[in-house]
Amino acid sequence: MDDDLLAATVILRLLEEFDVPLAGSDLRGHSFGTKAFIQGPPPSTTTTPSLRQAVYWSGLRQEIYNALSLQQAPDIDLSSLHSLFTALGPDAGDCAWANQAIAHCADVLLFSFGDGPRSVAVHESLQKKTEQWSEARPASFDPYFVGSDEVEIGANFPDIRFSCPWHAIGNQYNELARILLSVHNPGHPTVGPLRRRFVQEADYQIRKGVWTVCGVALANDAVPPAMVVGCMAIHLCGDRFTDRQEQERLIQILIRTDSSHGWPTHALQRQLRETWGMS
């Protein structure tokens, strides 16, 4: 019940993540404390923003990062989030909408890597929620500048600028959910003449999603979490890029995140270089 203690736990967990290059691995010692906190119901979003709210959502983002990095389901109970975000009205604050996108992404991770049913019906329900968020979110989540109407993989990253950090983060997490659902689509045929076409189309949409998330990261690079989410997208599906110039552009995002914000990406750089056969 001590907000200061909860904040200290999340900060110490963040320090562990920064110290990975020094420690040699992610010890995740303070992750247990974070999980214990976010296992409970989230603080109400209808009250005045508080330290407890900030700590809760920071802790949840940490667990999403861990789950995505390890390609496993979040090790927390997400059921308490469902009732909170069943229907956000027009009067809900922008941060509530951004947090809904984060919570939905956690739900998609649970579907993708958890032990629950991976049925077509569940996938379609999650896909519908992803599209509903894009359609229902406030107009303030629209970028104030877009360099091009069409995202072209291999060209320059799209220049998509948002007025506030939570607008960029909300859109990025919703796009991450869309990428995950494309990767883990039980409706795609696994054999037969249609398989190749579905695989190619899904692969294009996945790479386009990664390119978009990275474009948002670079266009809003003064927002460190936006750069980290860009790295998360690269970690998730960077191996699907086969063009050498595209690979180099993705590596540069990892280098820039490390040099500008201190977020460790050396291990991911090494893994991708080995996967791509880069010297």
Domain count, the chain: 1
Residue 63, amino acid: E
Q: What is the dihedral of CA 122, 128, 131, 135, to 10 degrees?
A: -150
Domain contains 3: no
Average pLDDT taken over every residue of the chain: 85
DSSP string, 140-168: GGS-SEES-SS--TTSSPP-EE-SSHHHH
DSSP string, 26-51: ---TTHHHHHHHHTSPPPPSSS---H
CA distance 216 to 274: 26
> What is the pTM for the complete model shown?
0.88
pLDDT of residue 22: 57
Yes or no: say if 258 and 272 are a contact pair by the CB < 8 Å rule.
no
Q: Which one has a higher pLDDT value, 38 or 139?
A: 139
Question: Can you tell me the mean pLDDT for 26-34?
Answer: 60
Domain contains 223: yes
Domain contains 157: yes
Domain contains 232: yes
Other Cβ atoms within 10 Å of 153 Cβ, number: 14
pLDDT in tens, 52-104: 778 788 888 888 988 888 888 887 777 767 656 566 766 778 988 999 999 99
CA distance 239 to 237: 5
Closest by CA position to 234, among listed 267, 199, 202, 260 = 267
Helix boundaries (H) for 76-137: 79-82, 94-113, 120-136
Q: What is the dihedral of CA 166, 92, 35, 224, to 10 degrees?
A: 0
Range of the domain at 185: 79-276
pLDDT of residue 39: 63
pLDDT of residue 275: 94
pLDDT in tens, 103-142: 999 999 999 998 887 899 999 999 999 999 999 999 999 9
Q: How many CA atoms lie within 13 A of 137 on its CB side?
A: 23
Longest dimension (CA), the chain: 59
Q: State phi, psi for 78 to the nearest 5 degrees.
A: -95, 0
Domain contains 8: no
Domain contains 103: yes
